[in-house]
Amino acid sequence: MTAVQAYPVGTVPAARSIRRFTARAPRGRGEGRLGALLGDLYTALVSVAVSAGVGLGAVQQLRVALPPPPEVPPPVGLSLPVVVAVLLVGAAGALLSLAGRLGPVGAGGAEAVWWLTLPVERRGLLRPAAARLPVLAAPAAAVLVTLLSAGLLGHTGAGLLRAALVAALGAAAVVLAAALVQSAGLPRRATALTGDLLMVAAPVGAAVLALSGAAPSTLPVPGWAVVVAVALVVAALAAVLDARLGRLPARTVRDSGSVAAQALGAVVSLDSRELGRALAGAVLRPGRRWSSRLRTVRGPATALVTADLVLLRRSTRHLVQLGVAVLVPVLVTVVPQLASPVGVLVAVLVAGAAAASAAADGARWAQMAPVLDRSLPLRHTTVRRLRMVVPGLVALGWSAVTLGAVALWSEGPLLDWLVLAVASAPVWAAAAVRAAYRPAPEWGGRLVITEAGALPLGALAVLSKGPDLVALCLLPLWVAIGVAAVTTPVVTAQVVLSAVAVLVASSTHEKGWFERSLEGEQRGRPAAGGAGGAA
């Protein structure tokens, strides 16, 4: 076969020299100087160290504040070490799910177009990409385990060091295992699904242990032999993966790189909705799927609600999120050391937000493509209210289970707590929909200078949409949990505030009433001043 070549061709360069050229060419023009790199590294290290220190201090304070374990364990309950173990299993599942969705070996955008088409050794090109996620996961896992182990379990010294090392190596092993699955040509959604199932298995296992009364009261601290064994496993996985990198098809590497780039952009711009879309799109089944018959559609309103229901039914990730959100507060109420008003309140707050958010995916997609809402012959406010139906139903079920468990914990009348569950469910739905429809963060807005740096008010104002309703309109619920009792005034106040939350979330104005009033006043002021001046 004739090769068309206008110039003489020699040997193909090594992959490393391609990577170096790509990195060094900009430096030759004064971009990306070493000083700037060292500055970034310094800032990152200091930030991580300060964050870890603050986190450790907070968790140790928590440990001091926690009551001692009961001398006689309750018949239905969990010890703190088991809770930590459950958290770690869930975190491992989350990491596996994330690694599966991200690839984890990816080269998107420019690297895919300009590198992967070269006849240089692909293994050398992909080596940094393959190392990136394990290297990031390892210190994150070490920090998490250090916080939990030192803060909640009181581990110190060599035991703490070994636990952190095993966590770091274990996290790297999880990511490397996901990469091996990718290199074997298996679909990423299989890895992601395994991680999701592990995330559900953690609280389910904990619930089984709590009910059976077979939960252990302590966690073993890993010995050096375990550290060495896990290190050997990591080394073996890394070696096998490295040998397989050259056989990774460009299409999987491109797909993974594209998802990683989208996810990174979402993180940098603090857009959790875009992050969710990136991670969900990563494991979509390619090609066509059977269309739902949409039997419940009777008109535009039921079409919208049915579409939201179908979306929730098809999203494994959100169903998993929902399952975990149901179990977490229930479990917290049966852990003697966590089942304080503050512990239960925090669990309800976090899990409630997660449950309602899981059911509001339809609203999030509609925010990205406004034509979806405009295509229906419905008023904008009606559309917003209809978008609250599915999150509302989910929140109702979640609240009934959760506040039922809270009723058992508070030893109060179950019916009172169930009435409060019904009264408070609309707030969760309203908050989820308000958060889903929030505009993109406004980074060009005013800055407020603080001792910790500049705060972009525009971005913060946008990010607070949704959580503001949870904080303010669920005050009666927080009071009820705080005093472990439900009263008629509390329920009445909750009903009123739920109506307010629905009204606020139905609004299609991007800015709040106060902001609009302020702007209107500012627009009017120069005109008035000018008139006065002219007079």
User: For residue 246, what are its two tokens?
Assistant: 């050259």
Cβ at position 245, least distance to another protein in Å: 10
Half-sphere exposure of 20 (CA within 13 A, CB side): 5
Pick the closer one to another protein by CB: 189 or 511: 189
Pick the closer one to another protein by CB: 33 or 380: 33
Q: How far apart are CA 79 and CA 71, in angstroms?
A: 12
What are the φ and ψ backbone dihedral angles of 447, each rounded to 5 degrees? -110, 140
User: For residue 11, what are its two tokens?
Assistant: 């040997």
Of the candidates 372, 480, 340, the one whose C-alpha atom is nearest the C-alpha of residue 419 is: 480
User: For residue 144, what are its two tokens?
Assistant: 């998490």
Cβ at position 523, least distance to another protein in Å: 36
| Cβ contact 522:446 at 8 Å | no
Q: How far apart are CA 283 and CA 112, in angstroms?
A: 20
Query: Could you say which of 250, 294, 471, 496 contacts another protein (CB under 8 A)?
Result: 250
Query: Could you say which of 60, 62, 73, 121 contacts another protein (CB under 8 A)?
Result: 121
Of the candidates 491, 482, 485, the one whose C-alpha atom is nearest the C-alpha of residue 346 is: 482
Q: Is 509 an interacting residue with respect to another protein (CB under 8 A)?
A: no
Contacts with another protein: how many residues (CB under 8 A)? 44
Query: Contact letters (x/-) for another protein, 271-310, by CB under 8 A?
Result: --------------xxxx----------------------
Q: Is 450 an interacting residue with respect to another protein (CB under 8 A)?
A: no
DSSP per position, 502-527: HHHHH---SS-HHHHHHHHHHHHHHH
| Binding piece for another protein, criterion CB under 8 A, among 117-125, 306-314, 352-360, 453-461 | 117-125
| Binding piece for another protein, criterion CB under 8 A, among 9-17, 168-176, 300-308, 494-502 | 9-17
Q: Is 522 an interacting residue with respect to another protein (CB under 8 A)?
A: no
| Secondary structure, 3-state, 346-411 | HHHHHHHHHHHHHCCHHHHHHHHCCHHHHCCCCCHHHHHHHHCHHHHHHHHHHHHHHHHHHHHHHC
| Cβ contact 374:399 at 8 Å | no
Query: Could you say which of 83, 85, 91, 120 contacts another protein (CB under 8 A)?
Result: 120
Q: How far apart are CA 163 and CA 147, in angstroms?
A: 11
Q: Could you report how far apart the first and last alpha carbons of the chain are, in Å?
A: 88
Query: Could you say which of 118, 232, 240, 455 contacts another protein (CB under 8 A)?
Result: 118
DSSP per position, 440-467: PP-TTS-EEEETTEEEEHHHHHHHTTTH
Pick the closer one to another protein by CB: 248 or 431: 248
Cβ at position 267, least distance to another protein in Å: 18
Pick the closer one to another protein by CB: 286 or 377: 286
Query: Contact letters (x/-) for another protein, 204-243, by CB under 8 A?
Result: ----------------------------------------
Query: Contact letters (x/-) for another protein, 402-431, by CB under 8 A?
Result: ------------------------------
Query: Could you say which of 38, 54, 110, 267 contacts another protein (CB under 8 A)?
Result: 110
**What are the C-alpha distances in Å from 473 to residues 64, 406, 432, 477, 485?**
32, 19, 13, 9, 18
Pick the closer one to another protein by CB: 288 or 295: 288
Q: How far apart are CA 347 and CA 342, in angstroms?
A: 9
Residue 384: CB atoms within 10 Å: 23
Cβ at position 99, least distance to another protein in Å: 22
Query: Contact letters (x/-) for another protein, 22-41, by CB under 8 A?
Result: x--xx----xx---------
| Binding piece for another protein, criterion CB under 8 A, among 46-54, 102-110, 152-160, 422-430 | 102-110
Query: Contact letters (x/-) for another protein, 122-161, by CB under 8 A?
Result: x---------------------------------------
Pick the closer one to another protein by CB: 258 or 337: 258
| Binding piece for another protein, criterion CB under 8 A, among 12-20, 420-428, 451-459, 512-520 | 12-20
Cβ at position 125, least distance to another protein in Å: 10
| Cβ contact 446:457 at 8 Å | yes
Cβ at position 302, least distance to another protein in Å: 30
Indicate the residue type of 79: S
Pairing of strands 447-450, 453-456: antiparallel
What are the φ and ψ backbone dihedral angles of 65, each rounded to 5 degrees? -75, -25
Residue given tokens 């990491």 in the structure block = 95
Q: Is 338 an interacting residue with respect to another protein (CB under 8 A)?
A: no
Pick the closer one to another protein by CB: 109 or 526: 109
Positions in the binding site for another protein (CB under 8 A): 1-13, 18, 21-22, 25-26, 31-32, 108-110, 112-115, 117-122, 246-251, 254, 285-288
